[in-house]
Amino acid sequence: MPRAPRDAAERDGAVRELQSRISAMQRTRIDDRAALPTAAAIAPALPGGALRAGSVYSLPEPGAAGTLSLGLAMLAEASRAGLWCGAVGLPDLAPEAAAALGIDLRRLVLVPRPGEQWLRVTAAVADALDLVLVHPGGAAASSSAAADAALGRLAARLRERGASLVALGAWPGSEAVLRVAGARWSGLGTGHGLLQRRELRVETASRGGRMQRATIVLPGAGATASTATLDDLGADVAAAAREPAALPTAGVEHRTAAVS
Amino acid sequence: MSPGPSPWDRAPAARSGRAPAAEPVRTMLLWVPDWPVLAAVADAGHDPAHPLALIEKGVVLACSPAARAEGVRRGQRLRDAQSRCPALRPLPYDPGADHRAFEPVLDRIEAVMPGVQAIRPGLCALRARGPTRFYGGEAAAGAELLRAVAVPGARLGIAEGPYTAEQAARAAEAGGVLAVPPGEGAAFLAGLPVSALGDEELAALLRRLGVRTLGGFAALEAAAVRDRFGEAGARAHALAAGRDPRAVQPRVPPPELEVALAFEPPLDRVDQLAFAARQPAERFIAGLRGAGLACTSLRVVIDDEAGGRSERAWLHPRWFSPGDVVDRLRWQLQGAMRGGEQLGAPITGVRLVPDEADELGNHEQGLWGGAPEERVHSALSRVQSLLGHEAVVTAAVGGGRLLDERRVLVPWGEAEDSGIRPAGAAPGAPWPGSLPGPTPATVFAEPPPVLLLDETGEPVRVDERGALSAPPSLFAPAERRATSDVRAWAGPWPLQQRWWDPARHRAAQRLQLVEADGTAWLLLLEEGRWRAEGRYD
């Protein structure tokens, strides 16, 4: 059904105003939960503009353009602030790239090959570290009742401890699903030049179904961001956002419990 | 006036204001010839019949009898020694191993006679009086001592003062006792050459003065010797006259801190061993704690039935708890057995040795619990006990041109500079040919092969002059069948590694490219094959 653009803009404005009034009335909002230090460059790509302590962010598998760098950039500011970071299941991670993005290697712990026990290892590591990059490596996809229960326990433990996971791969119940929609390098021509910096267009589907788009420049500071409503974006991203949220999670209950 | 040294002889000491030299003490002195060689043989399992030499600073420090028969001497330069004995096997001298090997000998002596003074490895002294009375005579005491020591070739000298006793031991037969009767020390020494003083400069001077024996030197007037040769000369003069002023200073036996376990019958399963080691590990840590020490470096020695030995030093960032000790033992066993639950041969013994211990007070926990690092450490130790020691690592940036060389992984809990990084591979040093700009986030430990084609579908090559055969146009990693367009590229950049070393020489060409979806790659062309060194993902 065709609709006048003016009406659409009005409706968006109304929705936003209502949302802001609702959030103003809630005493405990997700923004009140401790936010982990987040680099300004990454902030536009995250719901609420910061990494939340105790939640899981889901990124695509490493290998897709810019994914691993985005994951490392998400750890960088926290590491610079003195928190401990970890990387589980990434045997080919280059420490030099991590250091270049601002991660303090003295407080970076790697478990390159956790094998079958990756979930136990992740749980043990997340017990002590503040921000963990984890690559489930296809094992998370094979969901069974036992695995779901273990993931649920891990999620509860994360919330209790205030540690966050950045999962490279699908993760049920993640706070937000980030996707690199496009990457553009500068500095390299055809037969000349050198890779210098890249622009990543990141699309974020938060649990509530809100979509965000941001352009992140790595390495380096400065990012532009735009927020859009759900129907502006492609159906695939929207589906990706809805799917994990449909799984049973304790996160929502936790928030409502905190209100009362 | 009592017999023995006359007051006149003591006068110089009295004049110089020192306490008068005490009567020389009857001393038993044990000497093991070539001890450093014996220790090295025992430590590293060399063949004692082979000509061996221990080398320190390019000079022979000690050599085996076989090498001595070929003309190798102490103090020779290695080159000279090798020219005399081409089959000579030079070994680096390890003073630590030397002392470590002598320690059990001292313990065995202390088991039968108290009050040992270790002079240096291979040489130790005791006061003769007590053992002589206990065993009923010097000969009996000496025989008992040699029996207790049980080192082939050990010799014992008994005389007044350690110096005379040492000369007696050197004169004794291998495995024999030479007792110089009381009061005859000076007469015994009189026949020895002046070089026996152990001071080559003084001996040369005395020889030029026509004094060739200790007897001749001792006959000189003490005051004149002091005037001519000074304090050191006066001391040597007293030694030559059999009046060694030194007394035996027995060592205080150190508390027994290491723990040895013997398994009879031998154990062959890791879990059995870990279980058996739990209580001894607790005893080990409790013993250290009782001595006010915290162990920061632990040496675990594992012996198996087939005579194999696994020895490894483990460091700890803080200090070892009993659980940590058992973990280290298990990791070492797991490393030694290479897969499977069975060890190469059943384990007969385990020794836990505190390599480094520190005052417990320096490691006291804070009143309100430890730092957050402590929590991190305990969690990571748990992961290590789950997956093995090397599974949890910290990373550092090393030196090198290839990206994989620049990645240094250190197991959690080990010092970063524990010899893992090759010498000279400093990250800050200039590395011509290393890659500027952002580094790939993924660096492949084993670079996967990739396909790089030109417009016509031919593989891209680099000729001898370093030029590409054609601009690359299609690219595909091996695991992905479909090729994608190359959007941008640059290179090739030549990379030469260690051209002077044929074994480690590497010649490669590097190329950067961006494929259609925006993923950038760093490729390496080596021996005509393109591989992906890193991926900018």
Contact assignment for A111 to B387 by CB distance below 8 Å: yes
Candidates B394, B442, B460, B473, partner chain A, best to mutate (most A CBs within 10 A): B442
Predicted local confidence at residue B253, as pLDDT:
67
CA of B70, closest CA in chain A: separation in Å? 55
Q: Residue A88: what residue type?
A: V
Q: Are B113 and B130 in contact (CB under 8 A)?
A: yes
pLDDT reading at B415 higher than 80: no
Predicted local confidence at residue A231, as pLDDT:
38
Q: Model confidence at B429, in pLDDT bands (50, 70, 90)?
A: confident
Predicted local confidence at residue B8, as pLDDT:
37
Residue B514 at interface with chain A, using a CB cutoff of 8 Å: yes
Q: In chain A, what residues touch B520 (CB-CB under 8 Å)?
A: 65, 185, 188, 195, 198
Q: Distance between CA atoms of B13 and B19, rounded to whole angstroms? A: 7
pLDDT reading at A16 higher than 50: yes
Q: In chain A, what residues touch B489 (CB-CB under 8 Å)?
A: 188, 190-191
Nearest to A190 among B443, B488, B535 (CB): B488
- In order of A123, B146, B150, the CA distances from B153 in angstroms are 61, 10, 9
Predicted local confidence at residue B118, as pLDDT:
85
Candidates A185, A199, A218, partner chain B, best to mutate (most B CBs within 10 A): A185
Q: Model confidence at B7, in pLDDT bands (50, 70, 90)?
A: very low
First to last CA, chain A: 42
Q: Which of A231-245, B121-135, B283-297 has the lowest mean pLDDT?
A: A231-245
Residue B45 lies in a domain: no
- Whether residues B309 and B215 fall in one domain: no
Q: What are phi and psi of A184, to 5 degrees?
A: -130, 125
Residue B406 at interface with chain A, using a CB cutoff of 8 Å: yes
Q: What is the largest CA-CA distance in chain A?
A: 63
Interface of B with A in 436-475 (CB under 8 A): 436-445, 471
Taking residues B380-387, report their average pLDDT: 81
Q: Which of A38-47, A94-103, A175-184, B197-206 has the lowest mean pLDDT?
A: A38-47
> Which residue has tokens 């010899």?
B419
The mean pLDDT value of chain A amounts to: 75
Contact assignment for A125 to B372 by CB distance below 8 Å: no
- Whether residues B375 and B407 fall in one domain: no
Predicted local confidence at residue A257, as pLDDT:
34
Higher pLDDT, B336 or B16: B336
Q: Distance between CA atoms of B212 and B195, rounded to whole angstroms? A: 9
Selection from B69, B109, B114, B111 nearest residue B88 by Cα: B69
Q: Model confidence at B425, in pLDDT bands (50, 70, 90)?
A: low
- Whether residues B266 and B370 fall in one domain: yes
Q: Distance between CA atoms of B210 and B204, rounded to whole angstroms? A: 10
Per residue in B217-238, pLDDT tens? 999 998 999 999 888 899 899 9
**Per-residue 3-state assignment (H helix, E strand, C coil) for B313-351:** EEECCCCCCHHHHHHHHHHHHHHHHCCCCEEEEEEEEEE
Contacts (Cβ under 8 Å, ≥6 apart) of B344: B304, B306, B308, B336, B337, B338
Q: Which residue of B has its CA nearest to A198?
A: B518
Per residue in B143-188, pLDDT tens? 999 998 888 888 999 998 889 999 999 888 888 888 888 888 888 9
Provide the CATH number for the domain around residue B233.
1.10.150
Residue B394 at interface with chain A, using a CB cutoff of 8 Å: yes
Q: Model confidence at A244, in pLDDT bands (50, 70, 90)?
A: very low
Q: Distance between CA atoms of A201 and A226, rounded to whole angstroms? A: 11
Q: Distance between CA atoms of B520 and B42, rounded to whole angstroms? A: 57
Q: Which of B82-96, B243-257, B433-447 has the lowest mean pLDDT?
A: B243-257
**Per-residue 3-state assignment (H helix, E strand, C coil) for A143-190:** CCHHHHHHHHHHHHHHHHHCCEEEEECCCCCCCEEEEEEEEEEEEECE
Summarize chain B as % helix, strand, coil (round to 5): 35, 30, 35
Selection from A221, A216, A219 nearest residue A195 by Cα: A219
The count of residues in chain B is 537
Contact assignment for B437 to A194 by CB distance below 8 Å: yes
Q: Are B270 and B351 in contact (CB under 8 A)?
A: no
Structure token digits, residue A187: 């500095």
Residue B265 at interface with chain A, using a CB cutoff of 8 Å: no
Q: Are B302 and B346 in contact (CB under 8 A)?
A: no
Q: Are A67 and A180 in contact (CB under 8 A)?
A: yes
Taking residues B245-253, report their average pLDDT: 77
Taking residues B468-477, report their average pLDDT: 86
Helices and strands: H and E segment counts in chain A: 7, 11
Q: Are B452 and B528 in contact (CB under 8 A)?
A: no
Interface of B with A in 73-132 (CB under 8 A): none
**Can you say how many angstroms the Cα of residue B361 is from the centroid of all Cα atoms in its chain?**
28
CA of A106, closest CA in chain B: separation in Å? 7
ipTM value for the complex: 0.72
Residue B410 lies in a domain: yes
Q: Which residue of B has its CA nearest to A201?
A: B518
Residue B102 lies in a domain: no
DSSP letter (8 states) at residue B199:
-
| pTM of full prediction above 0.90 | no
Q: Model confidence at B17, in pLDDT bands (50, 70, 90)?
A: very low
pLDDT reading at B208 higher than 90: yes
Q: Residue A62: what residue type?
A: P
Q: Which residue of A has its CA nearest to B382?
A: A124
Q: Distance between CA atoms of B161 and B458, rounded to whole angstroms? A: 90
- Structural domain span for residue B348: 259-386
Q: Are B311 and B300 in contact (CB under 8 A)?
A: yes
Q: Model confidence at A140, in pLDDT bands (50, 70, 90)?
A: low
Contact assignment for A65 to B394 by CB distance below 8 Å: no
Q: What are phi and psi of B222, to 5 degrees?
A: -60, -45
Residue B67 lies in a domain: no
Q: Which residue of A has its CA nearest to B510?
A: A194
Bridge partner list, A198: A185, A218
Contact assignment for B490 to A189 by CB distance below 8 Å: yes
Provide the CATH number for the domain around residue B336.
3.30.1490.100
Residue B490 at interface with chain A, using a CB cutoff of 8 Å: yes
Q: CB count, 10 Å around CB of B457? A: 9
Q: Are B410 and B393 in contact (CB under 8 A)?
A: yes
- Whether residues B338 and B294 fall in one domain: yes
Contact assignment for B442 to A111 by CB distance below 8 Å: no
Q: Which residue of A has its CA nearest to B378?
A: A128
Predicted local confidence at residue B367, as pLDDT:
58
Predicted local confidence at residue A23, as pLDDT:
65
pLDDT reading at B424 higher than 90: no
Higher pLDDT, B475 or A252: B475
- Whether residues B379 and B282 fall in one domain: yes
Contact assignment for A108 to B490 by CB distance below 8 Å: no
Residue B7 lies in a domain: no
Contact assignment for A111 to B409 by CB distance below 8 Å: no
Q: In chain B, what residues touch A117 (CB-CB under 8 Å)?
A: 386-387
Q: What are phi and psi of B21, to 5 degrees?
A: -60, 135
- Whether residues B366 and B280 fall in one domain: yes
Q: Is the C-alpha dihedral spanning B437, B438, B443, B448 positive or negative? A: negative
Q: CB count, 10 Å around CB of A16? A: 12
Q: Which of B15-24, B70-79, B338-347 has the lowest mean pLDDT?
A: B15-24
Element (H, E) at B280: helix B270-290
pLDDT reading at B339 higher than 50: no
- Whether residues B316 and B300 fall in one domain: yes
pLDDT reading at A221 higher than 70: no
Q: Distance between CA atoms of A224 and B207, rounded to whole angstroms? A: 93
Contact assignment for A66 to B518 by CB distance below 8 Å: yes
Taking residues B316-327, report their average pLDDT: 81
pLDDT reading at B410 higher than 70: yes
- Whether residues B474 and B450 fall in one domain: yes
Q: Distance between CA atoms of B239 and B203, rounded to whole angstroms? A: 13
Residue B84 lies in a domain: no
Q: Are A162 and A53 in contact (CB under 8 A)?
A: yes
Q: In chain A, what residues touch B412 (CB-CB under 8 Å)?
A: 109
Predicted local confidence at residue B158, as pLDDT:
92
pLDDT reading at B16 higher than 70: no
Contact assignment for A94 to B440 by CB distance below 8 Å: yes
b/e map of B248-283 (b: 16 or more CB within 10 Å)?
bebeeeeeebbbebebeebbbebeebbebbeebbbe
Q: In chain A, what residues touch B375 (CB-CB under 8 Å)?
A: 127-128
Selection from B215, B216, B223, B222 nearest residue B238 by Cα: B222
Predicted local confidence at residue B1, as pLDDT:
38
Q: Distance between CA atoms of B507 and B525, rounded to whole angstroms? A: 9
Predicted local confidence at residue B13, as pLDDT:
39
Residue B387 at interface with chain A, using a CB cutoff of 8 Å: yes
Residue B519 at interface with chain A, using a CB cutoff of 8 Å: yes
Domains of chain A, start order? 33-252 (3.40.50.300)
Residue B384 at interface with chain A, using a CB cutoff of 8 Å: no
CA of B288, closest CA in chain A: separation in Å? 29
Nearest to A66 among B376, B395, B537 (CB): B537
pLDDT reading at A3 higher than 60: no
pLDDT reading at A30 higher than 60: no
Nearest to B383 among A94, A95, A121 (CB): A121
Q: Which residue of B has its CA nearest to A67?
A: B537
Q: Distance between CA atoms of A102 and A85, rounded to whole angstroms? A: 12
Number of domains in chain B: 4
- Whether residues B327 and B427 fall in one domain: no
Residue B350 lies in a domain: yes
Supply the DSSP string of A185-252, one letter for each residue.
Answer: EEEE-BSSEEEEEEEEEEEEEETTS-EEEEEEEESSS-EEEEEE-GGGS-HHHHHHHHHHHHS--SHH
Contact assignment for B537 to A67 by CB distance below 8 Å: yes
Selection from B499, B300, B477 nearest residue B389 by Cα: B300
pLDDT more than 70, % of chain A: 74
Nearest to A95 among B396, B471, B488 (CB): B396
pLDDT reading at B383 higher than 80: yes
- Whether residues B458 and B474 fall in one domain: yes
Structure token digits, residue B488: 């941008």
Candidates A195, A198, A199, A216, partner chain B, best to mutate (most B CBs within 10 A): A195
Predicted local confidence at residue B486, as pLDDT:
86
- Whether residues B409 and B380 fall in one domain: no
Per residue in A50-102, pLDDT tens? 888 888 898 888 777 888 888 888 888 888 888 889 999 888 888 888 888 88
- Whether residues B353 and B402 fall in one domain: no
Residue B39 lies in a domain: no
Contact assignment for B439 to A96 by CB distance below 8 Å: yes
Q: Which of A194-203, B5-14, B69-78 has the lowest mean pLDDT?
A: B5-14
Higher pLDDT, B309 or A77: A77
Predicted local confidence at residue A252, as pLDDT:
35
Predicted local confidence at residue B11, as pLDDT:
38
Contact assignment for A182 to B512 by CB distance below 8 Å: no
For the ranges B196-200, B214-218, B305-309, B526-530, the one whose mean pLDDT is highest: B214-218
Beta carbon pairs, A and B, within 8 Å: 170
Predicted local confidence at residue A250, as pLDDT:
36
pLDDT reading at B405 higher than 60: yes
Residue B296, SS3 per DSSP: strand
